[in-house]
A = this chain, B = another copy of it.
Amino acid sequence: MKNNIKTLRAAFQLTQSDLAEKIEVSRQTVNAIEKGKFDPSLPTAFRLAAVFNCSIEELFIYESEE
């Protein structure tokens, strides 16, 4: 699963800490999701999409797992 969080976060001029606060997760979680270390939960994905005013599908690119 790829995502456009880093780009959008920059466009919205938010630090990882700012974004973490908005979506109510830790800064490390934002970093990990952004870097593709793991996928967010569905609720977290919804909150991210809300912050960036876009759909989950616009934020995340699903690629069938291996």
Residues of A within 8 A of B (CB): 1, 39-43, 45-46, 55-57, 60, 62, 65
Contacts and interface: CB of A to CB of B under 8 A. Distances in A.
B43 A40 contact: no
How many copies of the chain does the oligomer comprise? 2
Given A41-B41, A42-B60, A46-B62, 20 more contacts: A1-B42, A1-B43, A39-B41, A39-B42, A39-B43, A40-B42, A41-B42, A42-B42, A42-B45, A42-B56, A43-B62, A43-B65, A45-B45, A45-B56, A46-B60, A55-B55, A55-B56, A55-B57, A56-B56, A56-B57
A32 to B, nearest CB: 14
A57 B40 CA distance: 16
